[in-house]
Structure 1
């Protein structure tokens, strides 16, 4: 069994989809206690990205103890591709628990234009701190230097390593990645050396290929006659553009009422009214999109409040109408929704595209769930005009 640990549900789904593509039966779990599923790969979502670094480290140490009891053949730590979250503290917690002295960290996904060149993180040709990621509400990119993005090191050193360099014998080593060839070179080192592999989904792909596993991707077709509910909690500019494009194509987009952005006396009534609008749309159309649709306050408590509200809305809708497919973008949003619905274990069904992954909760009465990170695109053409066939 392969054990993988991710800090949010969209990342867990992403690497789960990669493993499924390679023919590995894969489960994604949000709680290891009382684990029901058995598979070739167990992906654990620790839901720790929004925690403080000390608390995140403690949670990862507990998860490591639970994972050790499952006796994995090897482990992989999935991190955010642009290094958001408590990457340093979580790597140390897992690394120490499993007896590693060094970790090779390759977060970048070059197929998505995310590269590390000479220790500097680029998105396309832009420094990462000059992109949308500089405005992330919880983990803004304040520099482009990968060592700086990881924060001040404590017990483990952090080194930026070029392709032509030898790998240091200790600490966290962040490798340069420009293309698949670079990923393959680093993956070959992990396979033959005792190195803790840490990174994004494309590094995992390279490792699986170096283990001589073969890809077997499945064709996917969107079922337009199904009831499809889309929940978008992402606040990125690219996400807002995608929602606007969907609306222009004639799809129903129902934004969160501005009144629900703040606590007030009639909150339950406002939430019920919003849910009734969603239910009415689903009664008349196969696709409905729910989004925040409001300027986001800079108050630190607002992201969690928005996620909780989207979770409550989803629960009301699903309690009053069966749907076939629940689509969610944004790991934090998906986490709040799944927590509200009480779904803890999932069978990975299909990787639609890198990072866009369909799963089935163990509760067979539940709809299929497809999740993607907020910064990733939906498959092209998925939101067709209402008149299109």
Structure 2
């Protein structure tokens, strides 16, 4: 125990004497007692899931807090939980709100290590959240490696690529919170920290060379620097993780780097398992990425139940579509609920929202809430074997509608970055849950997810 902890315990021997000093209580609790090995702080739910999977796959008992507004004292975590994923749900928040949420989540961490998860397409309050986490963690540096090679996300020369194209030139650059530049360093322009790139040639020479580059950068800096690392393949991420392990490092990355991080304690293979479940799978697709739309097109027409997004924005009740979905599930046939199957449907929904003077974020949230409401009505009449949720917004909205707060991971995945978990609480407690980031997967991924949900076993 540190001298600081001893002094605080002497000064504040019981919680009742803290005089409402909430921050001192958390500081004492965090620094003097550790509950978890790793805490993953992510800006959306699918990201919290796919990154936490990097630890669950190695046998570490892992729980993801899905609802950022949940009462943390009532979260159903097991005493064996080694890794805790936190969804701050800040990707589309205003920058100041995101900074506050991430700073608080990092400062209050009760883990030996905080891993700041960022979007592998650099969306969200990318630089601001990293800066907030670095400030709160008081680490000596932030090592930033958003590459996820198995998902087609790579970095070279400090420039980030998605499937070979500079990220700002892809559909993600057109997102309301998309990157303004493909150069990662450029995104930190207003932060005021030293930013350097660790080149691919340095990474290729091994962990000792990367460690030397880190040492030099820290010594040159007048405050904790941000070091952006090139990575083209998983072996590069392994080198980066090994090189930074002996420094006081805030690791920043996507699911790719998380798979390579060394956890202080060894795994005891205590990941949760699933019991077999009858019925058919229910999917809810809220993402309108090109990848997800292509995956929906690969499904048989009768599997997809498409709600009219423009009508949802107008407040119309999708009664007929809900009844259609219920009939299919009651007949043990899978269903995927969505509000868009092609770009034209997306455009109609946006136009309907704009007629009501709604912003793109308000439209997105409204559609997510309506899809979640429809899902709740369906589940009142039919019980699926498990659920697939694709798109971070819809995932949180549906989970809230089911009175769930947490998900335990099994360590299994359908494909890279697409984990299998189960609801830890709520009306679907114990049932299987698969989450998928909108831009992840192949043409057949949703088909494969539905198949996996119908094959879950204990």
Q: Same fold (TM over 0.5)?
A: yes
- Written as runs of structure 1 = structure 2, the 5 A alignment for 1:38-77 is 38=79, 39-67=81-109, 70=110, 72-77=111-116
- Pick the structure with greater CA Rg: 2
Instruction: Give 1 or 2: higher helix fraction.
Output: 2
How many matched pairs? 371
Question: SS of the counterpart of 1:111?
Answer: helix
**Alignment pair present for 1:23 and 2:75:** no
Does the 8 Å CA contact 1:20/1:349 hold for their aligned counterparts? yes
Tell me the equivalent position of 2:221: none
2:284 to 212, 225, 231: 231
Query: Aligned to 1:36, which of 76, 81, 94?
Result: 76
Counterpart of 1:207 in 2: which secondary structure? coil
- The alignment status of 1:370 with 2:434, answered yes or no, reads yes
Is the 8 Å Cα contact of residues 285 and 390 (structure 2) preserved in structure 1?
yes
Q: Which residue of 1 aligns with 2:308?
A: 257
Q: Which residue is 2:262 aligned to?
A: 208
SS at match of 1:93: helix
Change (3 A) 1:74 1:383: closer
Partner of 2:117 in structure 1? 78
1:12 corresponds in structure 2 to 48
Spell out the pairing of 1:1-389 with structure 2 (5 A cutoff).
1=36, 2-29=38-65, 30=67, 31=70, 33-34=72-73, 35-37=75-77, 38=79, 39-67=81-109, 70=110, 72-136=111-175, 138-148=176-186, 150-163=187-200, 164=202, 166-167=213-214, 168-169=217-218, 170-208=224-262, 226-247=279-300, 251-264=302-315, 267=316, 270-293=317-340, 294-296=345-347, 297=350, 299-300=359-360, 301-352=362-413, 353-363=415-425, 366=428, 367-377=431-441, 378=445, 381=448
Task: Name the TM-score, length of structure 1 as normaliser.
Answer: 0.87
Q: Are 2:404 and 2:426, in contact at CA under 8 Å, matched by a contact in 1?
A: no
Residues in 1 aligned to 2:173 and 2:279: alpha-carbon distance in whole angstroms: 38
Q: Specify the alignment match of 2:27 in structure 1.
A: none
SS at match of 2:346: coil
Alpha-carbon distance in 1 for matches of 2:328, 2:447: 24
Unaligned ranges ≥5, structure 1: 385-389
Query: Runs of 5+ in structure 2 lacking a partner?
Result: 1-35, 203-209, 219-223, 352-358, 452-458
Separation (CA, whole Å) in 2 of partners of 1:382 and 1:340: 22
Structure 1: how far apart are the matches of 2:325 and 2:447?
Answer: 25
Q: Is the 8 A contact 1:146 1:160 kept in 2?
A: no
Q: CA deviation at 1:365?
A: 5.0
Q: Contact 1:233–1:330 at 8 Å: present in 2 too?
A: yes
For the aligned residue pairs, the C-alpha RMSD in angstroms reads 2.8
Q: Is the 8 A contact 2:389 2:436 kept in 1?
A: yes
Distance of aligned partners of 1:112 and 1:259 in 2 relative to their CA distance in 1, 3 Å threshold: closer
Tell whether the 8 Å contact from 1:129 to 1:143 is kept in structure 2 after alignment. Answer: yes
Structure 2 CA distance for partners of 1:344 and 1:232, relative to 1, 3 Å: same
TM-score (norm 2): 0.74
User: In the TM superposition, what whole-angstrom CA distance separates every residue of 1:329-349 from its partner, at most 9, and x where no partner exists?
Assistant: 111110111122221122112
Pairwise CA distance, 1:135? 3.1
CA 106–215 in structure 1, closer or farther in 2 if over 3 Å, else same: farther
